[in-house]
Amino acid sequence: MHRVRAKTAIRGGAVLCVALLCGANLTAQRPAARRGWDTRPPSPQTAHSRLFTQRPAAGPIEHVIVVSVDGMMPQTYLNPDAHGLKVPTLREIVRQGAYSEGVRGVFPTVTYPSHTAMVTGANPGTHGIVTNGAWAPLGVPAGAWRWYAQEIRVPTLWDLARARGLKTALIFWPVTVGARGTVVVPEFWREPTGTAEDAKLNFAISTPGLLDAVAKRFPDFRAKFLPPRAEDEALTDVGVYVIETVQPNLLLLHLADVDHWQHEDGPFAGRALPALENADKQIARVIAAAKKAGTWDQTVLMIVSDHGHARTSQRVRPGVWLCEKGLVKLDENGKITDWKAYVLASSGSAYIYVKEKEDLETRKILVEMFQQAASKPGTGIRQVFTHEQIVAMGGDPEAFLALEAAEGWAIVGETKGDAISPATQAAEHGYLPERPEMRPSMLVYGPAIGHGKIEGARLIDVAPTVARWLGLKLEKAEGKPLEVPIHHAQASSDTGRVTTH
């Protein structure tokens, strides 16, 4: 995801209300779990070496934690030495748990469609979140993303878990503004640089009192929580706090620093390397929190990513070509006033829409123009997909055409400037999921998980797998549960849920 990344506080009655609400929902597993959010004493950092020293006896799977390290490529844990990476947590998970050598993503391979696929088990054309950016041919609202959970067209894991009375926590997970969960800290911003006003807004739209309590527990939290620039450590602060106090049955945590720095510096380069090592530390904190909470014996931890990255050196603006053909009209300030065709770009790819379905002339112009571009080197267009091909690969059924960028190129949706120019980012994604560098990551770990490779994994298989573990029925899923090795376990015949002995 292109990280355009933001703080403030609410206190008193809001904190008390949330503490009472959470307390009412908690089971009486442990006395500590019944305390208010701001009455728990701070705990020292659990030594990393203790995380893996002994494997406790597994119990029934009651808790699933999904940590998405946005943009993390499988080579991070498959061959960390090749990049000089210090990732002890991921190394140990590969040695003790289950892992994939590369997951098949969805089209386009960008953050919001991918994360929604992970929680619905459906492709973007089915679940409805077909791009990061919102549909806005006339530029209103400018810079908006598909933030709102109400736009998801099929049931999500948190919907099903809530219906069963399970506790859910959604921490900076994409497309969760307005989601109904026990704890919700949605990913949302208005200004790309992160402002104090956006911080106030995020405190307001999150579960009342939660972020104040987190800030009280972790003194550096406010400085590091500036959406859209919310640092991994701050988001893990929230995750740790929620694991220890709410003990959710389903926790979704989205960490985006790796993606941010890979866009800036390229994969496995520059500031992306310490970001990967820091993500490893945050995963260790999550494990330590579950152990401290006393829930680890019944927990499965799934570490995933949404896509990979490919280096870029040039970019193309197909919207400029549309203007030259008279298919887009601009005012004196360069703003779109009318359009017959529209480009919605996702860096490595783009959708082309036609305003009027009966406009056969525009459709003919578009097909000829883009097919010609794809046949010539130096245009930035690798291939063109028809509407039927888009639907077949799970893309947006409303699109007329789709474009994939050529090697080393990115597609942007602007209509001003030169059609071809140097890239502004070192790396991008959004290309076809078949491209090896677009493959997401997946690791699964916990007392109930055995050691081995996960074969044939797809992002749309994540939700059905989690649903099986928690005994949920995900009837609209297009994926299927993965064959994850289970440590001394068998599946219940009536629910498909994993229980251990």
Q: 60 pLDDT exceeds 90?
A: no
The 10 Å Cβ neighbour count of residue 60 is 16
Q: Are residues 284 and 319 in the same domain?
A: no
Q: Count the helices and strands in the chain (H runs, E runs).
A: 16, 23
Bridge-based pairing of strands 299-304 and 310-311 is unpaired
Report pLDDT for 22: 41
CB contact set of 163 (below 8 Å; sequence gap of 6+): none
CATH of the domain at 153: 3.40.720.10
Which residue's entry shows tokens 């919001």? Answer: 112
Q: Name the token pair of 225.
A: 């929580």
Look at residue 8 and tell me if it is in a domain.
no
Instruction: Compute the average pLDDT of residues 224-241.
Output: 96
Q: 356 pLDDT exceeds 90?
A: yes
Domain with 391, as residue range(s), is 313-424
User: Which CB contacts under 8 angstroms, 24+ apart, belong to 219-224?
Assistant: 222/7, 222/8, 222/9, 223/7
Highest mean pLDDT among 199-203, 265-269, 415-419: 265-269
Q: 25 pLDDT exceeds 60?
A: no
Is the four-CA dihedral 275, 276, 277, 278 of positive or negative sign? positive
Cα 185 from Cα 207, distance rounded (Å): 7
Q: Which amino acid is at 87?
A: V
Q: Are residues 406 and 470 in the same domain?
A: no
The 10 Å Cβ neighbour count of residue 270 is 14
Question: How many domains would you assign to the chain?
Answer: 2
- C-alpha closest to that of 492 among 120, 60, 162, 121: 60
**Cβ atoms 450, 129 nearer than 8 A:** no
pLDDT, tens digit, 9 for 90 and up, residues 197-211: 888 999 999 999 999
CATH of the domain at 389: 3.30.1360
Q: 51 pLDDT exceeds 90?
A: no
Q: Among 400, 424, 448, give the residue marking a domain's end.
A: 424
Q: Name the token pair of 104.
A: 């098949």
Q: Among 381, 399, 424, give the residue marking a domain's end.
A: 424
Look at residue 431 and tell me if it is in a domain.
no
Classify residue 13 by burial, with Cβ atoms within 10 Å: 0-12, 13-18, 19+. exposed
Phi, psi of 197 (to 5 degrees): -65, -40
Report pLDDT for 491: 42
Q: Among 402, 424, 446, give the residue marking a domain's end.
A: 424
Q: Which amino acid is at 318?
A: P
Instruction: Compute the average pLDDT of residues 314-318.
Output: 98
Phi, psi of 194 (to 5 degrees): 85, 115
Cα 25 from Cα 457, distance rounded (Å): 34
- C-alpha closest to that of 306 among 346, 358, 363, 361: 346
Q: Are residues 387 and 466 in the same domain?
A: no
| Average pLDDT of every residue of the chain | 88
Q: Are residues 129 and 210 in the same domain?
A: yes
Q: 472 pLDDT exceeds 60?
A: yes
Look at residue 5 and tell me if it is in a domain.
no
pLDDT, tens digit, 9 for 90 and up, residues 9-24: 333 444 333 343 444 4
Report pLDDT for 495: 35
The conformation of residue 93, written as its DSSP 8-state character, comes to H
The conformation of residue 56, written as its DSSP 8-state character, comes to P
Instruction: Compute the average pLDDT of residues 180-186.
Output: 97
CB contact set of 481 (below 8 Å; sequence gap of 6+): 461, 464, 465, 467, 468, 496
At 34 the three-state DSSP class reads: helix
Look at residue 466 and tell me if it is in a domain.
yes
- Number of residues written out for the chain: 501
Report pLDDT for 436: 97
Instruction: Compute the average pLDDT of residues 55-62.
Output: 69
Look at residue 3 and tell me if it is in a domain.
no
Report pLDDT for 18: 38
Residue 488 pLDDT grade (very low, low, confident, very high; cuts 50, 70, 90): low
Look at residue 342 and tell me if it is in a domain.
yes
CB contact set of 435 (below 8 Å; sequence gap of 6+): 310
Look at residue 252 and tell me if it is in a domain.
yes
Q: Are residues 294 and 319 in the same domain?
A: no
Q: Are residues 327 and 465 in the same domain?
A: no
Q: 318 pLDDT exceeds 80?
A: yes
Q: Are residues 254 and 203 in the same domain?
A: yes
pTM for this model (two decimals): 0.88
Q: 47 pLDDT exceeds 50?
A: no
Phi, psi of 469 (to 5 degrees): -60, -40
Q: Are residues 224 and 155 in the same domain?
A: yes
Q: Are residues 381 and 412 in the same domain?
A: yes
Q: Are residues 321 and 279 in the same domain?
A: no
pLDDT, tens digit, 9 for 90 and up, residues 103-146: 999 999 999 999 999 999 999 999 999 999 998 898 878 789 99
Q: Are residues 397 and 487 in the same domain?
A: no
Q: Are residues 459 and 406 in the same domain?
A: no
Q: 469 pLDDT exceeds 50?
A: yes
Look at residue 140 and tell me if it is in a domain.
yes
Which residue's entry shows tokens 């280096």? Answer: 311
Report pLDDT for 327: 97
Residue 5 pLDDT grade (very low, low, confident, very high; cuts 50, 70, 90): very low
